[in-house]
Chain A
Amino acid sequence: MSEKILPVPDLATSVAAVFRLNFKRMLREQKLRFALVALVLVVGATLTARYVVDPEDPQLLVRDAIRTGFFGLLAYLLPFLFNSGAIAEEVETRTLPYLLLRPTGRLGLTLGKYLSGATLAFALLAVGVLLLHAGAYVTEPSAMIENIDETLRMIGALALLTLCYSAICLFWGALITEASGLMSTLHLGAVEFALGMMPFAIRFVSMNYWATQIAGLPKGGFLEDTVPDVETWIAVVIVSVVTLVFLGGASLVVRTSQFGFGKA
């Protein structure tokens, strides 16, 4: 019997411990290599177009590349890779009891998993955008500095979107462990991508649309003129609230789950 019982760790300590463990594991997984390949392809293709095709307006090219390659592809892919299986894979590989049996608590587990996945996804996206920016303007240093504000704004919007998609993927992965990838794909594909292209206010259900507005990008999609204009701060609030709703949902699922988790 222990001479001194360890105190229950506080939430910050718990989150940090889960974060460290999960981050260390993600750095060794194939998913990271896959994400890096996707990132290199997007940045490489854009820079190739920039210098081989030699467009007249590099600013426009950077903006289009970020909209298509980052908001339209990597912002979906990276949070999906690092968060949809965060809980589900622990159930599948039967390692979840190691985490649930610790006094970190289930909230600490959820937040640690969420933050580590979202941090890695955002770090890759931010590095990719900065490389793209630097690469596109490498021959025009003054333009590189002049346009950095716009690029940083896009990175901010990507950060918000990454946090939101990470919460969505974590929620589905915790709720339906047997089909975490499928449910996340359906949500991101149908709600976020497809509805985000729709006319009128239908696209308001897509956080991707709100994020592109925060980034200052054109609306795009079908009948873009029919979509009402909304102020940026409202877009920030909407994405933040949706993020918190899905994160709260994921925490609730993890806190109360028995059956799927108990079988792990």
Chain B
Amino acid sequence: MSAPSIKAVRVSKWYGKVTALQDVSLQCTPGVWGLLGPNGSGKTTFMRLVAGLLAPSVGQVKVCDQAPFANPDVLRRVGLCPEADALYDDLSGLEFVTAMAELSGLPGKEARDRAAKALTDFGLEKAMDRAMGGYSRGMRQRAKLAQTVVHDPDVILLDEPLTGTDPTSRHVILEQIQRRADAGAVVLFSTHVLHEVEALTEQVLLIARGQLVAQGNVHEIRDLLSEHPHHVRVECDKPRELAARVLAATPGVSTVTFPSPSEVEFLSHDPDDVYTTVAKQAIDGGFEIKALTSPDATLEALFHYLVERSAGMAGTGADAAQGKARGVPKSETKKSGKEAGA
């Protein structure tokens, strides 16, 4: 029996003329892996490739050393929690998870017992006999997770599993994910919210515009978020005067633009300094500030920054497969035994 693993070698996937994934190489060993990326970045496509729902256009995907597409030998070891809020609403939670267990090859009685245990693990013991159409969003998410793990898979794929969940559900879900990873499963956890990953793991893979732009420690990602230049946009009554005063007070500002007659935008490596100066000017200088926004204080901006940055670098998927991470230079020297190349 091969050890649980996910491996992608120079994988690309196209939907007609649309490129969903481009030259992605990575390897995941047992433990929790955060797959971070903005909406539309290719996370779900990658999950579907690993789950065997899609075949790669180019390259190889291996799960437990076998190609997963429509391969029952692999599928018995994989569990996927899809992103879509889709369930058989006319079935009860117990009927649904029992059916999924039976489809995984468990005999009737054992399937029912395992389904009841999985639902109990996810806090649905009191609701398991009710039709799922009446479940709240958090309960539906937990029912999806129960079907994901009912057959005790070695590779667990969770596509945005915390979407729409309340704090109590999140706690239960994160605890169960961690427990299964501790037992030796590979857990690939996709999200576009950094702090969701931080609660579970330090191993992250960043994907943007279909490319794996970085991999590394979650703290390095945090550092990058604060290091990369930020845009700060201010809408006010006298943008040019405000620009002059901010430029004089904040040396970190590298560029000033005027997107509209009532707006000024600063590009700075120290956005906090710009915020402070603008606030001070609003009070002392009598400026009427109508809006203060930072369009890129998000992971999405970081992803775009990394894509642009990596475009000029020599790294390719093949490089990544050999452990040469792109985008997060520190990760080249911080690879642990659990981490493999991306």
Residues of A103-125 whose CB lies within 8 A of B: 103-106
Interface stretch of the complex, out of A14-22, A62-70, A148-156, A181-189: A14-22
Inside 8 A of A5's CB, which chain B residues have their CB? 1, 76-77, 154
Asked if B183 contacts A6 (CB within 8 A), the reply is no
Interface size for chain B: under 10, 10 to 19, 20 to 34, or 35 or more residues? 35 or more
Asked if B76 contacts A101 (CB within 8 A), the reply is no
Asked if A1 contacts B154 (CB within 8 A), the reply is yes
Cα(A251)–Cα(B319), bound, Å: 40
Inside 8 A of A104's CB, which chain B residues have their CB? 72, 103-105
Cβ-based interface call for A98 (8 A): yes
Contact flags B88-127 to A (C-beta < 8 A → 1, else 0)? 1011000100011011111000000000000000000000
Cβ-based interface call for B53 (8 A): yes
Inside 8 A of B105's CB, which chain A residues have their CB? 6-9, 13, 103-104
Asked if A20 contacts B185 (CB within 8 A), the reply is no
Contact flags B228-260 to A (C-beta < 8 A → 1, else 0)? 000000000000000000000000000000000
Partner of A95, one of B73, B88, B104, B154: B88
Interface size for chain A: under 10, 10 to 19, 20 to 34, or 35 or more residues? 35 or more
Cβ-based interface call for B38 (8 A): no
Cβ-based interface call for B299 (8 A): no
Residues of B50-103 whose CB lies within 8 A of A: 51-55, 69-70, 72-73, 75-80, 82, 84, 86-88, 90-91, 95, 99-100, 102-103
Residue of A nearest to B95 (CB): A24
Asked if A255 contacts B53 (CB within 8 A), the reply is no
Interface stretch of the complex, out of B145-153, B212-220, B302-310, B334-342: B145-153
Inside 8 A of A106's CB, which chain B residues have their CB? 70
Cβ-based interface call for A102 (8 A): yes
Cα(A262)–Cα(B73), bound, Å: 19
Cβ-based interface call for B4 (8 A): yes
Asked if A103 contacts B75 (CB within 8 A), the reply is yes
Report the minimal beta-carbon distance from A255 to chain B, rounded to whole angstroms. 6
Inside 8 A of B151's CB, which chain A residues have their CB? 2, 6
**Given A1-B154, A20-B102, A103-B73, A25 contacting B53 (CB threshold 8 A):** no
Residue of B nearest to A102 (CB): B103
Residue of B nearest to A1 (CB): B184
Cα(A256)–Cα(B284), bound, Å: 68
**Given A7-B105, A17-B102, A103 contacting B52 (CB threshold 8 A):** no
Cβ-based interface call for A226 (8 A): no
Asked if B72 contacts A101 (CB within 8 A), the reply is no
Asked if A95 contacts B87 (CB within 8 A), the reply is yes
**Given A7-B105, A21-B99, A2 contacting B86 (CB threshold 8 A):** no
Asked if B51 contacts A103 (CB within 8 A), the reply is no
Contact flags A247-264 to B (C-beta < 8 A → 1, else 0)? 000000001101101101
Report the minimal beta-carbon distance from A97 to chain B, rounded to whole angstroms. 5
Partner of B54, one of A6, A99, A105, A258: A258
Residue of B nearest to A254 (CB): B70
Asked if B70 contacts A255 (CB within 8 A), the reply is yes
Asked if B84 contacts A103 (CB within 8 A), the reply is no
Cα(A6)–Cα(B106), bound, Å: 8
Report the minimal beta-carbon distance from A111 to chain B, rounded to whole angstroms. 13
Cβ-based interface call for B323 (8 A): no
Inside 8 A of A8's CB, which chain B residues have their CB? 72-73, 76, 105
Inside 8 A of B52's CB, which chain A residues have their CB? 100-101
> Which of B76, B78, B95, B147: most chain A Cβ within 10 A?
B76
Cα(A94)–Cα(B44), bound, Å: 14
Asked if B82 contacts A103 (CB within 8 A), the reply is no
Cα(A18)–Cα(B100), bound, Å: 9
Cβ-based interface call for A93 (8 A): yes
Cβ-based interface call for B48 (8 A): yes
Q: Which residues of B contact A (CB under 8 A)?
A: 1, 4, 15, 30, 48, 51-55, 69-70, 72-73, 75-80, 82, 84, 86-88, 90-91, 95, 99-100, 102-106, 147, 151-154, 183-185
CB-based closest 4 A-B pairs = A1-B184, A94-B86, A9-B105, A102-B103
